[in-house]
Amino acid sequence: MATFRIGELLKERGMLNDEQIRQILERQKVSGTPFGAVAAELFGVQEAELWRAWAQQMIDCCPKLSPSELVSNPKSLAFVTPREAWAYRLLPLDWNENEILLVTTAERLPNAMAYAQIKAPVPAVFAVADRLDLEAAIRRNYGLSSLPMVA
């Protein structure tokens, strides 16, 4: 799959048009402000839409993991509680002084990115996995007792 620039992704979603993208790029060139911040400031693009577009960029380029690769380093499991692992469908695979490797599903990536931005003490690197494979890995590592109740 081709990797798209965030402006192209927001245009596909009907959030921006070509002229707005041109204006954002012009302002970005002068100010050095990130594209998303300028899009929000000039044209009111909502934060949730920016997260979805950033997540799509990551999905296009981040690795896809198979079930056999979903083996967590025990130290990394401390990054999220069992409840958070189930709520965000987020499994930390490895954690060192430079970065934390997190796996989630493509659908949950925007939420996982927002969560990691707030909570991670080091930069987060993401990979995606199939939902059922990820849930099986979360179950192996955290158990079922923390599975959120669905109303």
Taking only the tens place, the pLDDT of each residue in 52-100 is 787 777 776 666 777 567 777 888 899 999 999 999 999 998 888 899 9
CA distance 142 to 77: 8
Residues 67/131, Cβ–Cβ less than 8 Å: no
| Higher pLDDT pick, 41 / 58 | 41
Q: What is the predicted pLDDT for the residue at 45? A: 93
Residues in the chain, overall count: 151
**% of the chain beyond a pLDDT of 90:** 33
- pLDDT score at 1: 43
